[in-house]
Structure 1
Amino acid sequence: MVGEYADYVQSFLKIADERIKDAVEQEIKSGLLWPDPRIGLNPSFESGGRIDTLADGEFLHQECRRIFQIKDSTGNVISPLELHRHQTEAIEVAKRGVNYVLTTGTGSGKSLAYIIPIVDAILREGPGKGIKAIVVYPMNALANSQAQELEKFLNFGYPNKKGPVTFRRYTGQESDTDRQEIIEQPPDILLTNYVMLELILTRTDESRLVDAARDLRFLVFDEFHTYRGRQGADVAFLARRARIACGGEKLQIVGTSATMSSAGDSRAEVARVASLLFGSKVTPDSVIGETLRRATKPYDFSDFASIELLRQRIISGEDPSLEADQFANDPLSSFVEQNFGLREDESGKLVRQLPSPIGKDTGAAAKLSDLTGIEIDTCINAIRRQLLAGYKIMRPGGRFPIFAFRLHQFLSRGDVVSATVEGAEDRELSFDGSVWRAKSNEKREALFPLVFCRECGQDYYLVHLLGTTAERLAKNQGLSGNTVPRFIPRSLSDSNSDDDSQAGYLFIGDWSTNESDVIDAIPEDWTEVSNNTSRITSKARVLVPIPVRVGIDGTVDEGGHKAFYFKGPFRFCLNCGVTYSNRQRSDIPKPEPAKEVVTFAPSKLPPFVSLLVHLQPTYS
């Protein structure tokens, strides 16, 4: 897959300069498009007690004891269900009859925090009395996954796999037969998406579902942070219409979001956003977060004795113990959890650590090597072995590994290739996005991003011209006046110009400034015929490339390197002469080049430049 992706990216690359081409290919081979995965540990949560305990105290209906157990596919009970503290807190808030929000992270069991109160309420009021809960998902994949989980809890262990509480998925994926069956026999719990809920409320065919939900008890919006902008407004109106059409006196609205928790939003802010979306009050004390605990012994790695224990552990080369207690007391286990799992916030509370790579440069292995003085490859292997061992060892209770880690793999478009303004053989290249480099004579050397013509691969420097307009520069060659013209780097998407700056390009190469040669080289619609003589139009004259000499720091300097400047957007290539329509103002979605004036074709999206610009990772 990596090879195919690399081939795809390289199919857009056309670079004439062999030195730059070789450097780009080497960067790709070294992993530019496939960086190290980031690793995150699912943390351990404070216990909230067992379902049995809540049922014994009649806090939950007795049948919940049978429903919410860990079972195999045949319905045999593997173990009682132990709740996390935030799940128990959610059940307690639900018992108060108020709206609430779960802001716990990924893998924290948010769905049980609303499913258990829903099932408890249905059991107490009696199943089969219409739709009592509607759960709205932003994607069908989430609804499908939830249906599978409910099948295990609500049906496994009952005769014919039919428990007392019924549920159905109604997302538009169902056959006509299933859809009609759901309308005629409405379930206790309906799983849907926001588009289908809109249709249910407006189509006459589904009016019986609306009637069945007249005394709705729970309206749940899973991952409600996904509803933003116009879509957020649509869902907010949908929530209000659903409340008017179905909401009974006891209706509770519930929201879940893992992202708002990781973003560090305060309870008051989450409550404000939820109240706005739901159209119903959510108070800050009804926003429930996660309470984490350590799975390993805490070591203070600012203390010399702890560092020495860690160092000796790695030097020993011993395999990690597969005994839970010994593994939890291992200083290397503690280091792994502190770097991939947990950290303390400013108040001293345990919160999730951001996913990070093992990596040689800035990852956990580099930190471990700096801390212990041990060679980095040894540290990489030690961390990998510890993670894999921790994945085999179950936490107390037997449900989850001590180190339930996730790999977040990114694909990259690449990075910026920049160069100094010098001759092809002398210029320095950079791939780290730097725009300045210090020189020994205390002058700063400017690095400008490069872009390449899709037709011939000629390179151009992306620049902003500061201190004067292009017209003034053309008039005095930039060598007079109170302000010295200067070029600074820009990105391709930054094409704004004003009185004091102008977005454009620098070209280093042979290009004649003779009037007749210029007329032959520029696009035909830049010229006009007067008295049987071709000349450049007044409007086009400011677009013609201007000879200029540029110093290493980007200033216009008589002793600088010879170049040609022209303002953006990119109109034609000074090397091959390919022309683009002036109707297409942006350089990013240029169509395939042609010698004639062309009309932009939306289907032809590859840019005119074969760029390694703008690192834009996406999840894969």
Structure 2
Amino acid sequence: MDVFEFRDKLVGDYRDFTRSFIQPKANDINHFLDSEYDGGRYWPSPLIQINPSYVTEGTVESLASQGILSPVTADIFRFGKNASSSGHPASLYKHQRQAIDCCLRFEPCVLTTGTGSGKSLSYFIPMVDAILKAKAEDSTPRIRAIVIYPMNALANSQREELEKFLSDYPDDHRPVTYARYTGQEDQDERERIMQDPPDIILTNYMMFELLMTRQNERDKAVIRHAQGLQFLVLDELHTYRGRQGADVAMLVRRVRERMNLNLVCIGTSATMATDGTREARQAKVAEVASKLFGQAVPPANVIGETLQRQIPVEMPSRETLARALDKPLPDHADFETLRHHPVAAWVELTLGIVKDEGVWVRAKPKTLEDAAALLADASGHLPTTCQHYLARFLLLAYRVRDINDKPLFAFRLHQFISGAGNLYATLEAPGERKLDLHGQQFVPGDRSKRFYTVHFCRNCGQEYYPVWHEQEPETGQLGFQPRTSRTSPATPTISPTVF
């Protein structure tokens, strides 16, 4: 799939959809709206983000051979499992290994790594290992870990991921059990959880709040089964802000007091603190997490990602880039050949990673136009040529795979789309009136000219202005005030009027 063509089609379809409801009759309004739509007001240029390469550190199997993890944990967490293969050992990124060590020490921690960095495995691996070891000493069925997601869709997704690792075990002989409890379950599912509690519950904070406060026997039984809870995970920690953050912080404290004072809290978030030095950001995240968890989180337990270069070529010179762009890209390429391509180095060092305080960090996402302008400056080619070449190169780099079926560059195209709002205009003749989409009350710099909401006839497209015909408070003269279905006149009204 050409994601750039897909994006253009998506935006085109959305434009046609939003413009299909009203066909304004006035030429000046049509010209104004066309210019706003063409300028990308409701869909700015998409942002390009390159998935970086993470530093790896061993496998789950190697940790099991060292006695750090259980052999059963190594059997569970294997990639590529299917009916005909047991898969291969799950390799670990450095930040995953750091999180595993932290969890196995039963210390609170926060993972602040990017999307696609394997944050869920960072806590599921040590969580499952701790559950296996605890069940070896006490096999009484009970809930030992609860994972709280901000959205049910995330809970559903993680349930599917767990199923991939445990699907090769018979349902009645799984070493670790799990269940979703978000309100989407039917009566039978809830009864099963009450009668035979799973080791891990996937839920959302509102449902967990209800479980803690409702008094029906089923919910009370679930809470009883969670006595001695070992782990509590708050996924997407940055979503818990303001009043919701205070609610979640109080919930965690009640859970700790009611179930286990030594409960281990784990948080994950792709973005939290962005200002200051690396140490300052860690300290700020640790401070926020400590307030949410109700226990001190050491800054050292705020775990970020450790990135590395995957392209062996340094930033190419202007001449090298210019020569590379002069040559057409092939439809197919060898992984190693493309890996040594000058544009590959430019993409990685411009759109992928940059140095910050001596370490590699993710580059800020850029629009395709901005990226093309940077490539044009670096190569001397026209921006339009660079934009076309860059889009084709990224698509080729995604199709080219290494021996582990990983692309040279996995990239994301972020497209933000906003809904169309109201049109506002002054009470002047077509062609002379001021038009606006921001919802301002007056024309900037001229408070004698007021904006009014413009409505349209759905049949003929004729515009009209709902107003109140009333006395101006300052002058006592008759004038017009904006009218909506929710407003009433401030002074005695002559009549509601439509122009």
Asked if 2 retains the 8 angstrom alpha-carbon contact of 1:15 and 1:452, the reply is no
Distance 1:196 1:579, change over 3 A: closer
- Is 2:221 aligned against 1:311? no
Tell me how far 1:128 sits from its aligned partner.
5.0
Partner of 2:447: 504
Residues 259-408 of structure 1: pairs in structure 2 closer than 5 A? 259-260=271-272, 266-301=281-316, 306-319=317-330, 322-345=333-356, 347-359=357-369, 363-395=370-402, 398=404, 400-408=406-414
Asked if 2 retains the 8 angstrom alpha-carbon contact of 1:167 and 1:190, the reply is yes
* Structure 1 or 2: more helix by fraction: 2
Residues 105-254 of structure 1: pairs in structure 2 closer than 5 A? 105-126=114-135, 128-153=140-165, 155-159=166-170, 162-204=173-215, 205=217, 206-247=219-260, 249=262, 251-254=263-266
TM-score of the superposed pair, with normalisation by structure 2: 0.82
Please give the per-residue CA displacement for 1:134-167, whole angstroms capped at 9, x wherever unaligned.
00111000000000001111x1332458521111
Which whole-Å CA distance do the structure 1 matches of 2:134 and 2:153 have between them? 31
Asked if 2 retains the 8 angstrom alpha-carbon contact of 1:14 and 1:453, the reply is no
Distance 1:454 1:348, change over 3 A: farther
Asked if 1 retains the 8 angstrom alpha-carbon contact of 2:315 and 2:342, the reply is no
Tell me how far 1:278 sits from its aligned partner.
1.4
Which whole-Å CA distance do the structure 1 matches of 2:427 and 2:231 have between them? 57
Residues 94-105 of structure 1: pairs in structure 2 closer than 5 A? 94-105=103-114
Please give the per-residue CA displacement for 1:158-183, whole angstroms capped at 9, x wherever unaligned.
24585211111111100100110011
Structure 1 SS opposite 2:230? strand
Which whole-Å CA distance do the structure 1 matches of 2:168 and 2:384 have between them? 50
Structure 2 SS opposite 1:385? helix
- Is 2:425 aligned against 1:409? no
Structure 2 SS opposite 1:411? coil
Tell me how far 1:38 sits from its aligned partner.
1.4
Which whole-Å CA distance do the structure 1 matches of 2:142 and 2:428 have between them? 66
RMSD of aligned residue pairs (Cα, Å)? 3.6
Asked if 1 retains the 8 angstrom alpha-carbon contact of 2:50 and 2:412, the reply is yes
Which whole-Å CA distance do the structure 2 matches of 1:196 and 1:224 have between them? 17
Structure 2 SS opposite 1:52? helix
Which whole-Å CA distance do the structure 2 matches of 1:131 and 1:385 have between them? 50
Partner of 1:596: 495
Q: What is the percentage of aligned positions where both structures have the same residue? A: 38
Which whole-Å CA distance do the structure 1 matches of 2:227 and 2:374 have between them? 59
Distance 1:77 1:176, change over 3 A: same
Residues 445-484 of structure 1: pairs in structure 2 closer than 5 A? 451-452=424-425
Which whole-Å CA distance do the structure 1 matches of 2:19 and 2:489 have between them? 24
Which whole-Å CA distance do the structure 1 matches of 2:133 and 2:431 have between them? 75
Distance 1:275 1:523, change over 3 A: closer
Which structure 1 residue ranges, 5 or more long, are not aligned? 417-449, 464-489, 496-500, 509-521, 527-536, 546-569, 573-577, 586-593, 599-607, 610-620
Which whole-Å CA distance do the structure 1 matches of 2:494 and 2:229 have between them? 66
Residues 18-97 of structure 1: pairs in structure 2 closer than 5 A? 18-19=27-28, 21-29=30-38, 31-74=40-83, 76-97=85-106
Structure 2 SS opposite 1:406? strand
Which whole-Å CA distance do the structure 2 matches of 1:331 and 1:170 have between them? 51
Please give the per-residue CA displacement for 1:559-609, whole angstroms capped at 9, x wherever unaligned.
xxxxxxxxxxx715xxxxx89997479xxxxxxxx99349xxxxxxxxx99
Distance 1:277 1:5, change over 3 A: same
Which structure 2 residue ranges, 5 or more long, are not aligned? 1-9, 452-466
Instruction: Work out which structure has the larger RCO, using CA pairs closer than 8 Å and 6 or more positions apart in sequence.
Output: 2
Which whole-Å CA distance do the structure 1 matches of 2:470 and 2:79 have between them? 75
Tell me how far 1:376 sits from its aligned partner.
3.0
Asked if 2 retains the 8 angstrom alpha-carbon contact of 1:452 and 1:459, the reply is no
Asked if 2 retains the 8 angstrom alpha-carbon contact of 1:451 and 1:459, the reply is no
TM-score of the superposed pair, with normalisation by structure 1: 0.67
- Is 2:497 aligned against 1:571? no
- Residue identity opposite 2:447 in structure 1: G
